[in-house]
Structure 1
Amino acid sequence: MPFVVGASAIVGSTYNHPVILVQISRRAAIGAAAPLIGFLAACGAGTALGPTPTIPARVSDEWTPIIPATDLAVGRNRFLYAVLDERGRPILDARISLAFVDLADASPTLSTPIEAPFHGYGLGEKGVYIARADFAKAGDWGVEARIERSDGGSRTLRTRFRVKEASATPALGAPAPPSRQALIAVAADPRIVCTATPTCPLHDITIADALDRKRPALFVFSTPAYCTSAVCGPALDVVLAARAKQGDRITFAHLEIFSDGALRTPTKTVEEWGLPSEPWVFLVGSDGRIAEKLEGGITAGELDEALARLA
């Protein structure tokens, strides 16, 4: 069974499929959607690229693997995996194990399989399977997924994906960029600073000042009013619930993605943090270094576990 190009880093589906991420610029959308376009061409689907790539509805006897992550790099990664059934519907009830292989090896050998539990509480059909994976070098990699559904259906799917030498976003263990984003108290238009309704209470401190406190911090990048993935608002809700439980131990801040209402210009902070998509959540230790980063939809359980490890 060959490792085929799967639907990777997909943007704005025409139907509900898991953890679709919003690309921040059209250039990023074109680059990230390239593997998807090749996949659809192989299936006989149209390949015209508009401002937002979509997946056409199709019916076959095949399941479609999806790797929604946009920033896989050498080192440890939060690997996201999703799969659609033969009618293009997200499979949410499976047990999935993943094995990885470096396709550049002279004799490619699959790694020991690891479980990828489903994370979907509060996300509905946007849930995703998550595993922690280490990649030793950049280049083309493959993943073999063994999928067993609760109704007895099963498949083994193989998919290719690309690992970068370095992530676009701050790497784990790297210093957090000391950005100074706009705050509601001094903003000419508060709706540019926070598009949540009502505006959320996480806009009273800059990232730079939060880092100066020398205590753990959480920074969530999302645009609730303009998100087409349906996970940006829920991500902020999960963060707000976590803040209520954590008290003053951790400093929280919410960052919008765009500096204008036309969704054309990313903020300076988004550029400083190198975001290729949204939403993102970054956890920063009291030493000012990135301790964890979560792309796409998050659940309360996953975030609570990450915050418990944060010091």
Structure 2
Amino acid sequence: MHRSSPSSWHRRSFLRVASAATAGLALTACGGEGAATGGTASEAPATDSADLPAPDAQGTLFVQQASVEYLTGQDRYLAFGVLTTEMSPLGEDRPVQVYLRRIATSPEETAEVVAGPLETTFSPAVDTGQPVYFVRTDLSDEGLFEIVALAGEDFGTAAIQVVDPQDSRVKDPTDQSPVIPGTEAISAPTATVADDRGVFDICTQDPECGMHEMSLDEALQTGRPVALMFATPQFCQTAVCGPSVQTLETIRTEGDWGDTIFIHSEIYAEEPSGTEVAATPVVDAVAAWGLPTEPWFFTIGADGVVVDRLDGPMPREILQAMLEDLTA
């Protein structure tokens, strides 16, 4: 089962890096060659939550998170970058410890620590991207929180929005239902090597990836699992989209994923130019899925139901874990 895309779609501005939630990693445009290698877990000594820097303390590190939102639930991934004040990556040799702390938005709320210390995993840079850290933890409550990252005596914070899945910003434009795990995937055509659907380029990855053999609408009719990536390597304005495609391509070719169908969809129907990149018309599938940013990755079960989703930074370890869950 799957939802069908509307028969027509409106040309609209694609809101990449549309809020503070997505601005964090908007540092460099990126292509994509090379592949991430395995990450390592941080072993920073534990810090008592009572000894954390005050919420209004001036940080000495720049913590970057680039996800639109985080959904409440168990075992959620949080990926982020950490830069020095000179705007260079912190590096694998600096163990990072993480806490999650509520941001008080009313007199009734306090800046309580809701998780931590959390063990971080370091995922190396891919090509022109940058290394990221990630943690996995339960997100029980909605609201504004901050990632508090500690590296020795240095620290930095980044605000994140945690929402109930039903309140997700990613909505089917036809009925405003959220596109979340447990809902039917939206059927929409995507460009393939046999039918480019009039888009200027079916894949801006160099070399072109091998994930354009079948259109999404056709794939959803096969009764096979689907791994779906929305990203534009050449025209991405963050340090994550190009590497996301190349990383998924490497995982696809190196692993055994049974009869899973891998699909990559570009974002723009026309070639972006000048400073009006965000106003360039998007492809049918991006409009049908109601995506407010990019990149996005979805795993879809053989029954056509979304299993999981991820946006922003896409470490190899997380993508691989999502695929393992899909094919288990």
Are 2:165 and 1:162 equivalent residues in the alignment? no
TM-aligned CA deviation for residue 273 of structure 1: 2.1
Q: Which has the larger displacement, 247-256 or 138-147? A: 138-147
Q: Which has the higher contact order (CA 8 A, sep 6+)?
A: 2
Matched position secondary structure for 2:70: coil
Match of 2:265 in 1: 255
| Distance in structure 1 (CA, Å) of the matches to 2:161 and 2:143 | 6
Are 2:314 and 1:298 equivalent residues in the alignment? yes
Q: For 1:137-191, what per-residue CA distance to the aligned partner results, in whole angstroms no more than 9, with x for missing partners?
A: 432223322223xxxxx32434433333422342223222122223332336564
| Distance in structure 2 (CA, Å) of the matches to 1:247 and 1:131 | 25
| Distance in structure 1 (CA, Å) of the matches to 2:14 and 2:326 | 35
Match of 1:283 in 2: 299
The answer for unaligned runs of 5 or more in structure 1 is 1-23, 38-52, 149-153
Match of 1:187 in 2: 196
Q: Which amino acid aligns with 1:265?
A: P
Which of 32, 42, 49 is the matching residue for 2:19? 32
TM-aligned CA deviation for residue 257 of structure 1: 0.3
| Distance in structure 2 (CA, Å) of the matches to 1:188 and 1:222 | 17
Match of 1:118 in 2: 122
Match of 1:144 in 2: 148
Given that 2:21 and 2:68 are in contact with CA atoms closer than 8 Å, whether structure 1 keeps it comes out as no
Given that 1:218 and 1:252 are in contact with CA atoms closer than 8 Å, whether structure 2 keeps it comes out as yes
Q: Which amino acid aligns with 1:168?
A: R
TM-aligned CA deviation for residue 253 of structure 1: 0.8
Q: Which amino acid aligns with 1:257?
A: I
TM-aligned CA deviation for residue 118 of structure 1: 1.2
Q: Give me the TM-score of the superposition, normalised by structure 2.
A: 0.68
Q: Which has the larger displacement, 125-134 or 248-257? A: 125-134
Q: For 1:211-245, what per-residue CA distance to the aligned partner results, in whole angstroms no more than 9, with x for missing partners?
A: 22222210111112222335333322222222223
TM-aligned CA deviation for residue 27 of structure 1: 4.8
Q: Which amino acid aligns with 2:88?
A: R
Are 2:237 and 1:228 equivalent residues in the alignment? yes
TM-aligned CA deviation for residue 91 of structure 1: 0.9
Match of 1:85 in 2: 84
Higher helix share: 1
Q: Which has the larger displacement, 112-121 or 241-250? A: 241-250
* CA gap 1:25/1:163 in 2 versus in 1, 3 angstroms: farther
| Distance in structure 2 (CA, Å) of the matches to 1:233 and 1:222 | 7
* CA gap 1:34/1:297 in 2 versus in 1, 3 angstroms: closer
Given that 1:61 and 1:86 are in contact with CA atoms closer than 8 Å, whether structure 2 keeps it comes out as no
Match of 1:308 in 2: 324
| Distance in structure 2 (CA, Å) of the matches to 1:139 and 1:117 | 25
Matched position secondary structure for 2:324: helix
Matched position secondary structure for 1:80: strand
* CA gap 1:144/1:62 in 2 versus in 1, 3 angstroms: closer
Q: Give me the TM-score of the superposition, normalised by structure 1.
A: 0.72
Give me the CA root mean square deviation: 3.3
Q: Which has the larger displacement, 208-217 or 163-172? A: 163-172
Matched position secondary structure for 1:309: helix
Match of 2:3 in 1: none
| Distance in structure 2 (CA, Å) of the matches to 1:275 and 1:291 | 17
| Distance in structure 1 (CA, Å) of the matches to 2:71 and 2:214 | 30
| Distance in structure 2 (CA, Å) of the matches to 1:285 and 1:119 | 27
Match of 2:131 in 1: 127
The answer for unaligned runs of 5 or more in structure 2 is 1-11, 29-57, 171-178
Q: Which amino acid aligns with 1:68?
A: A
Q: For 1:261-286, what per-residue CA distance to the aligned partner results, in whole angstroms no more than 9, with x for missing partners?
A: 12411222112223232222212222
| Distance in structure 2 (CA, Å) of the matches to 1:187 and 1:79 | 35
Given that 1:218 and 1:281 are in contact with CA atoms closer than 8 Å, whether structure 2 keeps it comes out as yes
Matched residue count: 264
Matched position secondary structure for 2:114: coil
Task: Return structure 1 stretches of 4+ with deviation > 6 angstroms.
Answer: 34-37
* CA gap 1:267/1:62 in 2 versus in 1, 3 angstroms: same
| Distance in structure 2 (CA, Å) of the matches to 1:25 and 1:136 | 33
Q: Which amino acid aligns with 2:222?
A: R
| Distance in structure 2 (CA, Å) of the matches to 1:90 and 1:247 | 33
Q: Percent identity?
A: 24
Matched position secondary structure for 2:256: helix
| Distance in structure 1 (CA, Å) of the matches to 2:323 and 2:161 | 29
Q: For 1:82-102, what per-residue CA distance to the aligned partner results, in whole angstroms no more than 9, with x for missing partners?
A: 222122222122322322233
